[in-house]
Structure 1
Amino acid sequence: MRRWLLLIAVIALIALGWSQRRRLPDRYNPWAPLDLRAPPDLFLGYKLQRLDADAPRCLAALQQSGATFSIVRDYVGAGGCGWNHAVRLQDTGVARLERPTIVTCPLAASLVLFDRHALQPLARQWFGQPVVSISHVGSYACRTIYSQPDAALSRHARAEAIDVTGFRLGNGRAVVIAKDWDKGLDGTFLHKLEARGCPFFGIVLGPEYNAAHHTHFHLEAGSWGWCR
């Protein structure tokens, strides 16, 4: 109920701004371009959805964010595998990826948001250190879900998901999901990070989802978070 009242109030502010020819701040305007550096607002899901539907808009947001990347050509693989509107992402503008990897532009945008607004603040709060490197085991893989013969294609088969395995802090300390998930300070950090990361992705699957995910966070592109 509170969210609906807030939405009505925001719409009223937008209408007032238009009527008086005034420009509302972007955080109160669902149609404003998404600034990946700005704190997330009420319309984050909708703005991510717009990025997914508009490749030039997505690339513009990624360029503005300071992330290091290069555009890669669309690729059509066997059996529906491949990617569209993808980039080779090297860093988020804050932390580098342990290895550059090909991801769709919307997934790259979500990773930038996750790093800036969940990972870095939590790492500084928890350890007093920034995260300088994000470890992963890749994004693109032409396979079905769990590689089962009759299953649907995995989101990895479209470069729309990445499996993150851990993080390295500025002081050299490594936090590894496979060994630290249930261990003291590091484990608490990882549990909190999984929860905070949810709004920036379509799906987040962690070690408690099933045995296949006990070593990593599975992060999918998308606009409305579903976390397990």
Structure 2
Amino acid sequence: MRAFLLFLLLLALLALVCSRGWRPPDRYDPWAPLDLRAPPDLFLHYKLGRLGADPRACRATLAQAGARFEPLPDRRGPGACGWTDAVRLRGTGEALLAHPAVVTCPLAASLVLLDRQVLQPAARELYGGPVARIDHVGGYACRNLYGRAAAPLSHHARAAAIDLTGFALADGRRLRIADDWNGQGRAAAFLHRVHNRACEVVGMVLGPDYNLEHHSHFHVEATGWGYCR
């Protein structure tokens, strides 16, 4: 009985506080708008998931972070391929993409976070300078998994995945996953750190240790709750 009365008292206190306009800081509020410039919080993946249901808010979030992008009209076909709420992403606000990529807006937001929270800190710590360019082999591609006729449709066919192949530093050095992943120097340390920390800010990352098909790239998706292999 005492526990129930205490529970009612706490509810009444919470209702009183909220009625006077108080709200928790954004990092403790799962319903607060996502700020891609802020450090990740406990509700990051939930907030990223909400962006998929609100295209206007997603594009505003990208713009606030300084990302370079162009909204695209929805596309249907061929077949089950196409995209909804996609952008042509040119830069994250920190680094440029080697060439524009068609990705869903939530995936673009995830790439902004990956660059700001993982790539740039790792590059500055290990190399003393920033990442200037993100190399990739495309986002949208109308194909099945691994290009096999009998396989399910790839997430690339919905612009919901992108394959990153390496990174160029501001001093001109290039770090390539195909060449440097299995090395012993700073390049390998950088790539492994990026892979290991990526799922703090994106939904899924599959790298060279996942299977042979990923030996040359990081497969990145926005959806999921932090799965790195």
Calculate the TM-score normalised by the size of structure 1: 0.91
Cα distance in 1, alignment partners of residues 17 and 67 from structure 2: 33
Local SS of the residue matching 2:79: helix
Q: Deviations over 1:110-157 (max 9, x none)?
A: 000100011101110111010000000001111111112221100000
Structure 1 residue ranges, 4+ long, deviating more than 6 angstroms after superposition:
13-16
Unmatched tracts of structure 2, length 5 or more: 1-10
Cα distance in 2, alignment partners of residues 63 and 179 from structure 1: 34
Cα distance in 2, alignment partners of residues 187 and 156 from structure 1: 27
Aligned residues: 217
Cross-structure match for 1:215: 216
CA contact (8 A) 2:72 2:88 kept: yes
Local SS of the residue matching 2:200: helix
Q: Deviations over 1:144-177 (max 9, x none)?
A: 1111222110000001100000001111011110
CA contact (8 A) 1:144 1:157 kept: yes
- Aligned residues: percent identity? 59
Matches within 5 A, 1:69-218: 69-183=69-183, 184-218=185-219
- 1:189 Cα deviation after fit: 1.1
Distance change (3 Å), C-alpha of 1:142 and 1:170: same
The answer to which structure has the higher helix fraction is: 1
CA contact (8 A) 2:40 2:201 kept: no
Cα distance in 2, alignment partners of residues 148 and 17 from structure 1: 58
Calculate the TM-score normalised by the size of structure 2: 0.90
Cα distance in 1, alignment partners of residues 128 and 121 from structure 2: 9
Cα distance in 2, alignment partners of residues 16 and 214 from structure 1: 57
Worse overlay, 193-202 or 110-119? 193-202
Cα distance in 2, alignment partners of residues 63 and 195 from structure 1: 28
Local SS of the residue matching 1:164: strand
CA contact (8 A) 1:68 1:93 kept: yes
Unmatched tracts of structure 1, length 5 or more: 1-10
Which has the greater radius of gyration? Answer: 2
- RMSD (CA atoms): 1.7
CA contact (8 A) 1:48 1:223 kept: no
- 1:79 Cα deviation after fit: 1.9
CA contact (8 A) 2:103 2:139 kept: yes
Cα distance in 2, alignment partners of residues 88 and 226 from structure 1: 25
Local SS of the residue matching 2:98: strand
Cα distance in 2, alignment partners of residues 15 and 163 from structure 1: 47
Distance change (3 Å), C-alpha of 1:73 and 1:14: farther
Worse overlay, 52-61 or 41-50? 52-61
Distance change (3 Å), C-alpha of 1:144 and 1:39: same
